[in-house]
Amino acid sequence: MNPRLLLVLLAAATLLAGCGLVGGDTPGTFDYSGDWRGTLNDEANGAGTLLVTLQQSGHALSGTWHAVMGADATRALGGSWTGQVFVGQDSDLLNGTLAPAVAGQCSYTLTLARANEQLSGTYVPVGAATDCTHLTRGSVQLSIQP
């Protein structure tokens, strides 16, 4: 491995550890398990509704997602969620992959930050996806449901 690259990677790991954004032995005190509901705003398709059910095991997240664009139920898609919680000093970050239930549809990378019982962030397609008709890229706002 290139010594310069190794030094950069070591510096980045040290920086993340100093910020508290690495998975340690104990996850944060917030439990992400449960039902989340909110909105998404897609660059190409406008506003929609997003429903997420999460299970948490340590820093690992898994679950399901379902999005409906506008009020048109035929413009719905969903699938599985896998990801990880990065515990920070002031807030947590969540990084996830939204995989489609239907073969041939796009997968998305989702990056969220938590403030109290709300998550907000962005999503983008994974790789060089060509058929992302219902979702392209955009923003997400979610709230935990009682």
pLDDT tens-digit profile of 72-121? 777 888 999 999 999 987 789 999 999 999 888 889 999 999 998 999 99
Among 5-9, 13-17, 128-132, the range scoring the smallest mean pLDDT is 5-9
- pLDDT band for position 19 (50/70/90)? very low
Q: What is the pLDDT of residues 23-82, one digit of tens each?
A: 444 456 899 999 999 999 999 889 999 999 999 999 999 999 999 988 777 788 899 999
| pLDDT score of 128 | 67
Contacts of 67 (CB under 8 A, 6+ apart): 40, 48, 49, 50, 51, 76, 77, 78, 134, 135
Catalogue all structural domains in the chain, each as residue range(s) with its CATH number. 24-144 (2.40.128.120)
The angle at the Cα of 75, spanning 73 to 76, to the nearest 5 degrees, equals: 75
Confidence of residue 139 (pLDDT cuts 50, 70, 90): very high
pTM as predicted? 0.77
Amino acid at 143: S
- Which residue in this structure is represented by tokens 């979610």? 142
